[in-house]
Chains A and B, each alone.
Chain A
Amino acid sequence: MKSFTYERADTPAAATAAFARAPGARFIAGGTNLLDLMKLEIETPAHLIDVSRLALDKIEATKEGGLRIGAMVRNTDLASDARVRRDYGLLSRALVAGASGQLRNKATTAGNLLQRTRCPYFYDTNQPCNKRKPGSGCAAIGGFNRLHAVVGASEACIATHPSDMAVAMRAFDAAVETVDAAGKVRAIPLADFYRAPGTTPHLETVLAPGELITAVTLPKPVGGTHVYHKVRDRASYAFALISVGVIVQRDGTGRVALGGIGYKPWRVEAAEAELPRGAKAVASGLLAGAKTTHENAYKLPLVERTLAGVLAQAKG
């Protein structure tokens, strides 16, 4: 770990102002990912701005009938919130499928969105990795890539985004609210939040340097039956091989979002129109253009089969 300085911000404005004074700093909240990365010198910020005590830990109703989830709301609190459990069950289920109780107690909503890939080559500083060291190459391509992306990847990077929470938020058409040092506030649809790896896999989101996430908003509830199925080799405490979240309405229409297959939670609205025709048709739309390796090709039939299973479950 590189030596770093530390300060605690009391307000979002103070946090963004602190960043303006120390470009290259990182915001830290729960620290469940960043601290590990700093110990391994994958992240080497010279300055940390602790945002964990900002008053962004409320879940509030919006005037549109949805929820505004403060950036500092802990994963455990979000999963157990009565409104979330009643109206956004998919989100609650996705959250509890992730990490462990201890980690969920610590991890925040904004931090969860910003957690970095679990590609093992990203974590080993002896190996080439374009995400960690731009231009050094991708060791996962041609290496151990059973867990890697099948959609949206590039010649430079086949890493996946590990979040379960983000998969459910994507299904709800969530938006990410931010503020920058100039006090400018914007709302970024989660659909547009993550950047495709292309030739610059080290750039993962559309956030500008120093732009701080303050909340995630959920539009008003959409009803329906919610099922989240996270497929993994061991029953708990493992990242998804793939995950499938569905919201199915009585008339057979609905929404589908996938995790574990790309650099972002994967949703293709056009494919959802095929829901009445069944899993095969939907999966085919979701996975159009998929590119697999010898080790991760199983993810394509797995998505289709898991989707069929959750659709059957949703029908009851």
Chain B
Amino acid sequence: MKFETPATTNPIDQLKVIGKPTRRIDGPLKTTGTAPYAYERHDVAANQAYGYVVGSAIAKGRIASMNLDAAKAAPGVLAIVTAANAGKLAKGDFNTAKLLGGPEIDHYHQAIALVVAESFEQARAAASLVRVEYTRGKGAYDLAAAMGTAIKPQASFGTEPDSGIGNFAAAFAEAPVQLDARYTTPDHSHAMMEPHASIAAWEGDKLTVWTSNQMIAWSVGDMAKTLGIPKENIRFDSPYIGGGFGGKLFNRADALLAVLGAKAAGRPVKVALTRPLMINNTTHRPATIQRVRLGATADGKLTAVGHESWSGDLPGGGPETAVGQTRLLYAGENRMTAMRLAVLDLPEGNAMRAPGEAPGLMALEIAVDEMAEKLAMDPVAFRVLNDTQVDPEKPSRPFSQRRLNECMETGAERFGWSKRNPKPGLTRDGRWLVGMGVAAAFRNNLNGPSAARVRLDKSGIVTVETDMTDIGTGTYTIIAQTAAEMMGVPLDKVVVKLGDSAFPVSAGSGGQWGANSSTAGVYAACVKLREAVAQKLGINAADAVFADSKVKAGRRSAPLGDAAADGELVAEDMMEYGDLAEKYQQSTFGAHFCEVGVDAMTGEIRVRRMLAVCAAGRILNPKSARSQVIGAMTMGAGAALMEELAVDKRFGFFVNHDLAGYEVPVHADIPHQEVIFLDETDPTTSPMKAKGVGELGICGVAAAVANAIYNATGVRVRDYPITLDKLLDKLPDIA
């Protein structure tokens, strides 16, 4: 099915199942510990051996020699895989550095060997016996120092590094009110709960990989390319994923090394990455240095909007696209944005929840707060005044829906924003300095082609099959809701099967495109199944009403299952998209409000309450959407207050590479959160009229926290995370 014109009324609009707060259909499996996660799939292949990854001890250079003798002789060892014995391996299209390094080393903890043994403990013990001599090379590890060498990168995923309209330089120079500030955001780790893990088994030349992966088709393709075998010979299965946040978009060392280990050992092999390897072996959100320049008239109209961002990556990598939102978020006739990319020899940078927008808004939305203060305007009113209903760089192109102002105003009302003292540092609650902050949330909506197969059996059970993944977001449930709505059956008559590459190719989970895209694919397949049912029952598809597990047409009514009385009915289709996303700018919007307390003596910062108001199209399942947003708000609070991969600029690695060192918020950090969804549909996105929401939730949060800290203390910190050491010398003197 091709989606080329805005959606009109369709069966989804009945909202009998869609749009209802619905518990996860996979919840009982998860709460009882019976959902099969990759490393625990003991039943899928007999005789599984254990692999343990050896990571490079240096960040850049060469392996001078590698002695495997002691490791090979260790108890239980079955095989050792290294670049020297693994055969020819290509690099996957989605990987910047090779997943199996050597003799050249590209980054710290790049995998250089896999030790396979009968038990995990034997594999780990033997791995410590692998003797490696290195020749250290000189690497670049300091973004600030490498800024001067940054170049204009190529366009990636259709995003040009530079953009502009009007005459920014002149307009900024002439603006009566100006802001010119520099901000920094650190490297971040996805730090999801489940580590990267895979089990691989060969049967002849057929390979099966049970893994934890967000994008099944991409990863099957990359595995085929890496090994030089047809992708038809490879099956991936990833039904349950314990978090990804972009860290599992691509194959990582666990998958490739399990595959190579299984080949070498002649039996199935399982591999999980340790916490340190998750941080230095896999990808992370790259640090940025950003410069924001804003010019406005005295009455608060933006006339010049400039945003530049510098980030680093390994050779062949890409920039953190931190200026993307600035091209679209506020009005202003003269604009410029630019991204520059330096070579850094740290582990490879890549996507993490709301790549680009998350760190970009961390800077832009402090800048907007600073500008509002210069203008002596309320930051909500300043944002509302500079709203735009068209793409500011291409004013002929409207937003499909844009209710940012309503998010702002609703949030201000609900949060009690009018009680905020615009003068910072004056509100006390005992020893606490108290402040409120606001920031806009913005994230583009993306759609991707997505296919599904639906089956109907004679008992009226509808089974959906697609290689779509559920990374903890609630995909199982919204897909079940979609099929139930389309086929007129209750939720418990729908079975959802995900994550198997044997199923039709979906959009996968990433970039908050999964919910709308994958359900639209299921919609398309269900339209076909409805036609097949009608034909089987001898009724006109246009007249058929699917409800209460029956098909009705005029005075005729038959149980749905009757259509499959003499055999299962199967339908498959893919939703594809025309040019509506070019004609209309499709984005999601929100407003984050935050209240913080700052201990006037110690500078300790504690969030007191948070509110998000989101406008993100039709909310398919308000319960799981809320979970997505409060989780994202928590992650945003982490980015504001504590998350930072500490770079050792001499040795070139992230030092705090475990969950003791890389702090993410705990319950005690997040006392109260509220989420409001504006009631809306966007008919330009798909027949579901939905958009993504899982990444919108993190966008702007950190800036709202930062602005609240400023309001509490009068101290403006432009370098994240905002820790007490950055406040201390500017807090009130102790009596």
Contact = CB atoms under 8 A, between A and B. Distances in A.
A142 B650 contact: yes
A230 to B, nearest CB: 10
B160 interface: no
Interface stretch (B244-252, B320-328, B444-452, B653-661): B653-661
A241 interface: yes
Contacts of A239: 660
Contacts of A124: 276, 655, 657
Nearest to A2: B125
B125 A241 contact: no
B431 interface: yes
A146 interface: yes
A163 interface: no
A127 B599 CA distance: 37
Given A127-B651, A298-B725, A301-B729, A235 B276 contact: no
A279 B735 CA distance: 9
B145 interface: no
Contact of B641 (A3, A139, A234): A234
B666 A231 contact: no
Contacts of B724: 231, 233, 241, 298, 302
Given A139-B648, A279-B734, A301-B729, A234 B602 contact: no
A236 B218 CA distance: 39
A143 B648 CA distance: 6
B431, B601, B655, most chain A CB atoms within 10 A = B601
A234 B669 contact: yes
Contact of A302 (B75, B602, B667, B721): B602
B288 to A, nearest CB: 20
Contacts of A233: 641-642, 663, 721, 723-724
Contacts of B650: 142-143
A144 B656 contact: yes
Interface string B599-621: 10111101000000000000000
A22 B642 CA distance: 45
A312 B121 CA distance: 53
Interface in A227-251: 229, 231-239, 241
Interface stretch (A115-123, A152-160, A170-178): A115-123
B726 to A, nearest CB: 8
Given A3-B125, A123-B658, A231 B663 contact: no
A196 interface: no
Contacts of A139: 648, 651
A236 B655 contact: no
Contacts of B647: 144
A232 B602 CA distance: 10
B128 A41 contact: yes
Contacts of A144: 646-648, 655-656
Interface residues of A, number: 40
A305 interface: yes
B601 A126 contact: no
Contacts of B83: none
Contacts of A39: 124
Nearest to B661: A120
A234 B661 contact: no
B293 to A, nearest CB: 30
Interface string A1-30: 111000000000000000000000000000
Nearest to B122: A3
A30 B91 CA distance: 46
A309 interface: yes
B657 A235 contact: no
B668 interface: yes
A306 interface: yes
B57 interface: yes
Contact of B602 (A41, A121, A123, A231): A231
B545 to A, nearest CB: 55
A91 to B, nearest CB: 22
A139 B108 CA distance: 16
Given A3-B125, A118-B660, A144-B646, A304 B666 contact: no
B125 A305 contact: no
B3 to A, nearest CB: 45
A308 interface: yes
A235 B729 contact: no
B655 A120 contact: yes
A234 B124 contact: no
B130 interface: no
B728 A302 contact: yes
Contact of B728 (A123, A232, A237, A305): A305
Contacts of B731: 305
Contacts of B721: 233
A309 B121 CA distance: 49
A9 B108 CA distance: 43
Nearest to A142: B650
Contacts of B57: 126
A238 B729 CA distance: 23
Interface string A209-228: 00000000000000000000
Contacts of B660: 118, 239
Residue of B603, B606, B657, B734 most packed against chain A (CB within 10 A): B734
Nearest to A39: B124
Contact of A238 (B663, B725, B734): B663
Interface string B398-425: 0000000000000000000000000000
B665 interface: yes
B734 A231 contact: no
B604 A231 contact: yes
A109 to B, nearest CB: 22
Interface string B715-735: 000000101110011010011
A81 B657 CA distance: 37
A177 to B, nearest CB: 31
A288 B121 CA distance: 48
Contacts of A126: 57-58
Among B642, B660, B665, B721, chain A packs the most CB atoms within 10 A around the CB of: B660
A146 B641 contact: no
A306 B648 contact: no
Interface string A123-141: 1101100000000000100
A308 B121 contact: no
B712 to A, nearest CB: 16
A234 B663 contact: yes
Which of A3, A118, A124, A304 lies at the interface centre, i.e. has the most chain B CB atoms within 10 A of its CB?
A: A124
Contacts of A304: 734
A235 B663 contact: no
B669 A235 contact: yes
Interface in A267-316: 279-280, 298, 301-302, 304-306, 308-309, 312-313
Nearest to A306: B602
Nearest to B601: A309
A69 B660 CA distance: 29
Contacts of B601: 305-306, 308-309, 312
Contacts of B735: 308
A229 B121 CA distance: 41
Query: Most A CB atoms within 10 A — which of B669, B725, B729, B731?
Result: B725
A120 B656 contact: yes
Nearest to A118: B660
B640 to A, nearest CB: 11
B125 A143 contact: no
B719 to A, nearest CB: 13
5 contacts: A120-B655, A302-B602, A305-B603, A306-B601, A308-B601
Interface of A: 1-3, 39, 41, 118, 120-121, 123-124, 126-127, 139, 142-144, 146, 229, 231-239, 241, 279-280, 298, 301-302, 304-306, 308-309, 312-313
Q: Lowest 8 CB-CB distances: which A-B pairs, in order?
A: A309-B601, A298-B725, A235-B668, A126-B57, A236-B668, A144-B646, A308-B734, A144-B655
Given A233-B641, A308-B735, 11 more contacts: A3-B75, A124-B655, A143-B648, A146-B646, A231-B604, A234-B641, A234-B663, A235-B666, A241-B724, A308-B734, A309-B431
